[in-house]
Amino acid sequence: MKDFEDLVEKLLKFIDILVPFLIAITFAVVMWKVIDAWVTHSDDPSKRSDGQMAVVVGVVAVVVMIIVWGIVDLVASSVF
C-alpha cells in the first residue's frame, strides 16, 4: 500500500502547486479584461459590460477553485 500512498502524496503536492498557479492566471486574465474594458475602451458601453462580466466570472472561478482546493485538502488530511 506504500506505492498508493506515495502516488496520492505526489498528486496532492501537484495540486498544491497547480491551484495557486491557476488562481494567479485567472487573476491576470481578469485584470487584463478590466484594463481592456474600463481603461482602453472606457467610452464603449458593450466593452464595459464585457469587463463587468469578466470580473464576475473571474471572482466566481477563484471562489470555486479555493473551495475545491479546501475540500481536497480536508479530505486528504482526514484520509491520509
pTM of the model: 0.75
Number of domains in the chain: 1
The C-alpha cell 502547486 sits at: 17
Segments forming the whole domain that contains residue 57: 2-79
Residue-wise pLDDT for 25-76, tens only, equals 999 998 998 898 888 888 888 888 888 998 999 999 999 999 998 998 898 8
Query: Can you count the helices (H) and strands (E) in the chain?
Result: 2, 0
d(CA 24, CA 18): 10
